[in-house]
A = this chain, B = another copy of it.
Amino acid sequence: MRCQKCRSEASLEIRRHHAAFCATHFLDFFERQVERAVETGKMFTREDRVLVVVSGGKDSLALWDVLCRLGYQTTGLYINLGIGQYSEESQQKAAAYARSLGAPLLIADIPGEFGMGVEQFASATGRASCSACGLSKRYLFNRVALDHGFSVVATGHNLDDEAAVLLGNLLHWQTAYLARQAPVLPSTHPRLVKKVKPLYRIAEREAAAYAVIRGIDYIVEECPNSVGAKSLLYKEALNLLEQAAPGTKQSLYWGFLERGLPLIRGEDDPVLRACQYCEQPTTAEVCAFCRMTERAADRMRIRRCHEQSLSVARSSGEANRARSSNPVPPHAAATHGDLPL
């Protein structure tokens, strides 16, 4: 198999484009696809300051890398979700990459700020882990962007991610979610920053290939909470279809953007107002993130009281032993202060 540009040995076949490239021309292809996404979607220009949300994984680091090379003004944002060892390692990868790039990186530290991580948010409120995590990330990158004057936030969602989310929304005909699934979500409120996905034309394996060829050191492990996640199941089904008919994912997602979304997007945007706690835009009195953290903090307080009353009921020696084996976490008091950036 030969590179369609220079006829040297091809490194990567891209079946849905009936194309194959050597490493050098694959990088060109990748850059062109991202630039095309940015330009045709009017995502941002070289005058905009773009906040790139980086997880330490291949997609977001590849995105940051390519945007820098294309001459856009970028700043990274790493959100520490408090998922044990996984968060520590991914933060190290993001920080090391930022240093090698010589680009600024902001850190939003959820455990440091809220006294617990997204897994505790989830278990305290009965949400699925991925739901609590997604809500936290969306909330935080919007807030950080506002606080630091960024006009646009870019995330590393690729074609496989978008196709899988779309399939899930179609399997349950979640029309409200379908209406908002696009690579460009404009700002519909002064405190809601524009969100863009410049990798929506890029398949997952292409993002991985880009990261490998560029020598980007990314975290290979999936998030431990993603085991059994529906999104992985949807990707498996789509991979089966893509294998038999290359281009299926692209056809599903791009066809949706061209022909499905205009049919679904009939309804007006919901009316947004300021959350009474944090002033972030919300459709309710209190935003979903504040409701979640408030409930999680309440649960933590109740647990602490329960543990204290258990201690009182026991002999002082027993109570001391119980306390030392089940210590109340030092971060149990949740606050709504500013993010430590």
CB within 8 Å of B: which residues of A?
170-173, 175, 230, 233-234, 236-238, 240-241, 244-245, 248, 251-252, 255-256, 258-260, 263-264, 266
- Which residues does chain B contribute within 8 Å of A172, judged by CB atoms? 251-252, 255
Residues from chain B with a CB closer than 8 A to the CB of A252 are 170-173
CB proximity of A238 to chain B, nearest CB, Å = 8
In the complex, what residues of B have CB within 8 A of residue A234's CB?
241
The smallest C-beta distance from A43 to any residue of chain B, in angstroms, reads: 23
Write the nearest CB–CB distance from A200 to chain B, whole angstroms.
Answer: 16
Beyond the given A171-B255, A173-B251, please list 10 additional residue pairs across the A-B interface where CB-CB is below 8 A: A170-B170, A171-B251, A171-B252, A173-B252, A173-B259, A230-B245, A233-B240, A236-B240, A237-B238, A240-B240
A74 to chain B, nearest CB (A): 33
Contacts of A251 in B (CB 8 A): 171-173
How far is A172 from B256 in the complex, measured between Cα atoms in Å?
A: 8
Of the candidates B171, B245, B258, the one whose C-beta lies within 8 Å of that of A248 is B171
Residues of chain B within 8 A (CB-CB) of A244 are 233
By the criterion CB–CB under 8 Å, are A260 and B230 in contact?
A: no
Q: Which residue of B lies closest to A258 (CB)?
A: B173
